[in-house]
DNA sequence: GGATTATGTACAGATTATGGACTAAAGCGA
DNA sequence: TCGCTTTAGTCCATAATCTGTACATAATCC
């Protein structure tokens, strides 16, 4: 609980957010419908909507007839023409950026291939800065105002500081400070979960499992990402599957990653595409690797379901193209192990976003912030 | 996000809560100090404090000199004399109740031994109703007004309905409806975690591990219990320790409970006291059982730390008296398995509450509600 | 075209916080 | 002891915001 008292302007800020959230959640509304939904009076809603229009987050979008009789209302809907969010991602082999407007339309996408393994943070951040400049200029030329930016990184983040990104070879990098204006940073898996929420037409409760070189997970409960105490929650890749199994790069033993990480799945194959090809041709070794991974995932997800209680489980990253082969072993494992503890195990689904859930989710985080505090756009 | 607009009275309700929370968190304050802390004006604070005094949640408690000079202020502190909360618990072999006032003073405790295994819900609830009547009468004779009640049950709770309590033999019991006024219900482990927060002088971030016949856990993040999507989070007892281990009563295999549940620990011994005695005398079998349990706990907690990211781990219930013998294996397991993933594993601590963390936590839940919405006390 | 119905705005009134003036109560210094 | 300074708490006029009623507007129904 914030310990600051609230004043008149906080009340208005809150009401602006309530009206905007209603439009966002349930589509265009007339002012009258908004008044009914929010419990505010028509007068107040009119005044709030006027402010939201001025802030550029909503527009009037034509007449609607409510019942059969009476004066038709004017629909107020989210506006995609003024305000947008910038999503960024640093990953092992690329930098990516995207611009998403308030209607969730992806307005711009940029991917720059790069080899960032064991790289120098300063050099990569220089490249990121360039990318930001380029994309910002293009967005502004499009008439968009970028209300904020967020960055996805393949590592653990604590209070805006990148603590450890083993594959990049980075430790304790204060990424946010190096770019102006400073932006939000979060773990790839957390943001991919948000990406799934915003762009994969998901229900607001699920566990997104991100298969990359490592395996991460982001839990979304009631539309927000659960981060734990230090922001380190969701490290599904190191859940114990076999207590005295092979040593993992984390120092533990028998972690999920050992059985279902990219390296374990691909073996000597060069890419996921190749693995899929082998699977389709019924190659025994590939099928066995996939079954082993599915089995391990079933075990780890059983623990995860007991501890996190997700509404649904979504497989993303490299698990998405492999879903056909993973689904069976994973869901059987869950069903058998969860037993009578719950009615039925959470449903298993494929990720609805393409490979770029994380960048999109980064933009989604900013959109979430805008929707939560539209008043900030008015102060500037 | 609630979708209801806020009005003047919500603003005031919020400010009442802010002032009260400040006093609760940081002890007695003068009105001037409250004004500074909350950012409200002295005028507003005076008016809010007047309401809080009327509601009976705070009192003036003597003069305090702030600096060296100037008129001394009047300290405003929590009042334990009017408002209190009722905590209740149904467990395998007893019914319990307690009354706790706003200063966290336990004003009343009642435990009624009973054999509730495989019992008839209606009969037990009858007994609970009697207990409530008795305790309510005593509290009222003491001048206390019970602002609400909450009930801890050894089972899973979903939206006020007790879904499944295997040891009681209950399924789908609508407990809340059967008592008037209806009260909040939650899982024993979740409420024990709150009990630990309120009465064990804990930091606001920890995972409370409740060793009873089953093993549960309640995660507290920033002072609130994490419940997951359906309120089923924290089922530590069924986290997988050995994927093809012995069958557990839940239907799974190799669950933590199989290795560290009460039955596994006690073997043929009749009570935890007896086990402690054996351990103290160095009985080999007892020591080995304890080591095995500690090892299994280390494995399950490793998964829990990766997924939940708790600030600290608190062992309660039957694990509390066994802490001396469990601490070593558990913390070694955590240290070895967590490896380089985090700076250091979360600290391991014993529960600070006695055996009745759950009842106390039930009362704590209500106190939390009062502190969050003091305005409700004024409306009546 | 007039009655009916629903939308959206205008204006007075209510609620609550603010800010400066004022009163109260203590110590300090002469 | 008296006045000065300092801090606490209250009073009152003002400002921000929401409410509620009245009203103008725009559609359908007959």
Model confidence band, residue B316 (pLDDT cutoffs 50, 70, 90): very high
Enter the CATH code of domain A83-195+358-378.
3.30.420.40
B363-370: average pLDDT:
96
Q: Tell me what pLDDT residue B64 has.
A: 84
Kindly report the nearest CA distance between residue A165 and chain B, in angstroms. 10
| B6–chain A Cβ distance below 8 A for any pair | yes
How many angstroms separate the CA of A254 from the C1' of D16?
A: 62
Contact B172/A at CB under 8 A: no
For chain B, say whether A262 makes contact (Cβ under 8 Å). Answer: no
Chain segment A206-246, per-residue pLDDT in tens: 999 999 889 999 999 999 999 999 999 999 999 999 999 99
**Chain A 68-127 contacts with nucleic strand C (CB below 7 A):** 69-74
Rounded CA-CA distance A27/B318 in Å is 52
The CA distance from B256 to B160, in Å, is 27
Q: Which of A307, A313, A338, A339 would best serve as a mutation to test chain B binding (most B beta carbons within 10 A)?
A: A307
Residue B161 token pair: 């309905």
Give helix then strand counts, H and E, for chain B: 12, 16
Residues of B in contact with A236 (CB under 8 A): 306-307
The verdict on a CB contact (< 8 Å) between A230 and B338 is no
**Is any atom of nucleic acid chain D found less than 7 Å from the CB of residue B161?**
no
Predicted local distance difference test score (pLDDT) of residue B2: 59
- Please state, rounded to an integer, the average pLDDT across all residues of chain B: 93
Domains of chain A: which residue ranges? 8-78, 83-195+358-378, 202-351
C-alpha pair distances (Å), B13 with each of B6, B17, B188, B379 = 10, 6, 31, 11
Which of A229, A240, A372 is opposite residue B337, by nearest beta carbon? Answer: A240
The DSSP bridge partners found for residue B224 are B221
B163 to chain A: nearest residue by CA?
Answer: A342
Q: In whole angstroms, what separates CA A374 from the centre of its chain?
A: 21
> What does pLDDT average to over chain A?
93
Which helix (H) or strand (E) segment holds residue B165: the answer is strand B161-165
Structure tokens, A135: 């994309």
CA torsion angle B320 B326 B331 B333 (round to 10): -140
CA–C1' distance B238–C29 (Å)? 75
Is B250–A5 a contact, with Cβ atoms under 8 angstroms apart?
no
pLDDT on residue B67: 66
CB contact under 8 A, A253 and B302: no
As to burial, measured by CB atoms within 10 angstroms (0-12 exposed, 13-18 middle, 19+ buried), residue A68 is: exposed
Please give residues of chain B from 10 to 69 whose alpha-adjacent beta carbon (CB) lies under 7 Å from any atom of strand C.
11-12, 15, 39-44, 47-48, 63, 65, 68-69
pLDDT band at A40 (very low <50, low <70, confident <90, very high): very high
The distance from CA A69 to its chain's CA centroid, rounded to whole angstroms, is 44
Distance from CA of B303 to the nearest CA of A (A): 4
- Distance from B244 to chain A by nearest Cα, in Å? 9
Give me the CA B267–C1' C1 separation in Å, rounded: 93
Q: Is B75 helix (H, G, I), strand (E, B) or coil?
A: strand
Give residue B1's pLDDT band: very low, low, confident or very high (50, 70, 90). low
Closest CA to B179 of B160, B165, B154: B160
CB contact under 8 A, A311 and B5: no
Bond from prior residue into A258 cis (ω within 30 degrees of 0): no
DSSP one-letter code for A160: T
Structure tokens that stand for B205 in this block: 């971030």
Nearest nucleotide to B42 by CA–C1' distance?
D9
**CA atoms of B73 and A115, how far apart (whole Å):** 65
Measured between CB atoms, does A12 come within 8 Å of chain B?
no
The answer to whether B187 touches B157, Cβ cutoff 8 Å, is yes
CB contact under 8 A, B17 and A40: no
Q: Is the pLDDT of residue A309 over 80?
A: yes
Query: Which positions 84-113 of A are in contact with B (Cβ < 8 Å)?
Result: none
pLDDT of A1 reads 57
Residues in chain A with CB shorter than 8 Å from the CB of B21 are 1, 3
What pLDDT digit, counting tens, does each position of B177-201 carry? 766 677 899 999 999 999 999 999 7
- What integer is the mean pLDDT of B61-81? 87
Taking 70 as the threshold, does the pLDDT of residue B66 lie above it? no
Q: Provide the shortest C-alpha distance from residue A289 to chain B (in Å).
A: 18
Write out the two tokens for B84.
């209190």
């106190």: which residue's tokens? B367
Higher-scoring residue by pLDDT: A71, A320: A320
Whether chain A has a CB inside 8 Å of the CB on B40: the answer is yes
pLDDT of residue A158: 87
Q: Is the CB of B74 under 7 A from strand D?
A: yes
Mutate to test the interface with B, among A6, A10, A12, A372 (most CBs of B within 10 A): A6
Helix ranges restricted to H, chain A: 8-26, 31-38, 42-55, 121-141, 188-199, 256-260, 262-266, 272-280, 284-308, 323-338, 357-372, 375-378
pLDDT, tens digit, for every residue of A136-186? 999 999 999 999 999 999 998 988 899 888 889 998 998 877 666 778 999
Q: Phi first, then psi: give them for residue B103, nearest 5 degrees.
A: -85, 10
Confidence of residue A2 (pLDDT cuts 50, 70, 90): low
List bases in chain C with any atom under 7 Å of a protein Cβ: 4-11, 14-21, 24-28
Query: What span, in angstroms and rounded, lies between the C-alpha atoms of A319 and A300?
Result: 15
Give the span between the Cα atoms of B198 and A337, in whole angstroms. 35
Give residue for tokens 């208005």. A12
- Predicted local confidence at residue A380, as pLDDT: 62
pLDDT of residue B329: 97
pLDDT digits (tens, 9 = 90+) for B87-134: 999 999 999 999 999 999 999 999 999 999 888 999 999 999 999 999
CATH number for the domain formed by residue range(s) A202-351: 3.30.420.40
CB contact set of B116 (below 8 Å; sequence gap of 6+): B90, B91, B92, B93, B94, B95, B124, B168
Q: Is the pLDDT of residue A6 over 70?
A: yes
β B206-211/B184-187 pair status: unpaired
Inform me whether the pLDDT recorded for A65 exceeds 80: no
| CATH assignment, A8-78 | 1.10.10.10
Between CA B56 and C1' D4 the distance (Å) reads 40
A15 touches chain B (CB under 8 A): yes
For residue range A193-206, what is the model confidence (pLDDT) as tens digits? 999 999 997 899 99
Q: How far is A26 from chain B (nearest CA, A)?
A: 11
Per-residue tokens: B226: 């994490």
Nearest to B196 by CA among B174, B176, B225: B225
- Nearest-Cα distance to chain A for B110, in Å, is 32
B83-195+358-378 has the same fold as B8-78: no
Minimum-distance CB partner of B11 among A11, A39, A233: A11
Q: Does A9 touch chain B (CB under 8 A)?
A: no
- Chain B, residues 203-232, CB within 8 A of chain A, namely 205, 217, 221, 226-232
pLDDT digits (tens, 9 = 90+) for A358-374: 999 999 999 999 999 99
Q: Residue B133 CB: number of other CB atoms within 10 A?
A: 10
Chain A contact set for B310 (CB, 8 A) = 228-229
Say which residue the tokens 């409200």 belong to: B40
Count the neighbouring beta carbons within 10 Å of the beta carbon of residue B341.
Answer: 23
Nearest to residue A298, comparing CAs of A254, A328, A340, A262? A328
Of B3, B39, B309, the CB nearest to A4: B39
pLDDT > 70 in chain B, percent: 98
Beta bridge partners of residue B185, listed in sequence order: B151
Strand D proximal to B4 Cβ, under 7 A: no
**How distant is C1' of D5 from CA of A291, in Å?**
82
The pairing of beta strand B94-101 with beta strand B83-91: antiparallel
Q: Is residue B361 helix, strand or coil?
A: helix
CA-nearest residue of chain B to A373?
A: B1
């Amino acid at each position: 609980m914030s310990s600051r008292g609230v004043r008149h302007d906080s009340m208005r800020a809150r009401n602006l957010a309530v009206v905007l959230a209603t439009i966002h959640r349930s589509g265009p509304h007339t002012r009258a419908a908004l008044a009914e939904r929010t419990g505010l009076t028509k007068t107040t809603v009119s005044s709030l909507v006027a402010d939201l229009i001025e802030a550029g987050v909503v527009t009037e979008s034509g007449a609607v007839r409510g019942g059969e009789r009476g004066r038709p209302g004017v629909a107020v809907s989210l506006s995609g023409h003024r305000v947008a969010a910038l999503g960024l991602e640093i990953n092992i082999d690329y930098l990516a950026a995207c611009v998403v407007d308030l209607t969730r339309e992806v307005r711009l996408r940029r991917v720059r291939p790069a080899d960032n393994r064991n790289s120098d943070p300063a050099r990569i951040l220089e490249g990121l800065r360039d990318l930001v400049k380029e994309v910002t200029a293009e967005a502004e030329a499009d008439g968009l105002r970028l209300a904020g930016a967020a960055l996805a990184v393949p590592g653990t983040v604590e209070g805006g500081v990148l603590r450890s990104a083993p594959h990049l070879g980075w430790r304790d990098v204060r990424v946010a400070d190096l770019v102006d204006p400073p932006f939000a940073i979060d773990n790839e898996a957390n943001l991919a979960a948000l990406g799934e929420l915003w762009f994969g037409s998901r229900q607001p409760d699920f566990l997104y499992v991100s298969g990359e070189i490592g395996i991460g997970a982001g839990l979304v409960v009631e539309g927000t990402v659960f981060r734990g105490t230090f922001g380190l929650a969701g490290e599904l890749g190191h859940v114990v599957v076999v207590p005295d199994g092979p040593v993992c790069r984390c120092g533990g033993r028998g972690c999920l990653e050992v059985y279902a990480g990219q390296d374990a799945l691909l073996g000597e194959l060069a890419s996921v595409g190749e693995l899929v090809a082998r699977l389709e041709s019924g190659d025994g070794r590939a099928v066995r690797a996939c079954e082993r991974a599915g089995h391990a995932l079933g075990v780890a997800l059983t623990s995860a379901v007991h501890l996190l209680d997700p509404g649904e489980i979504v497989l993303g990253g490299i698990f998405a193209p492999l879903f056909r082969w993973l689904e069976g072993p994973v869901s059987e494992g869950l069903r058998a192990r969860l037993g009578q503890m719950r009615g039925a195990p959470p449903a298993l689904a494929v990720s609805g976003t393409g490979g770029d859930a994380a960048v999109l989710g980064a933009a989604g985080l900013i959109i979430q912030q805008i929707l939560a505090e539209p008043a900030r756009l008015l102060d500037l």
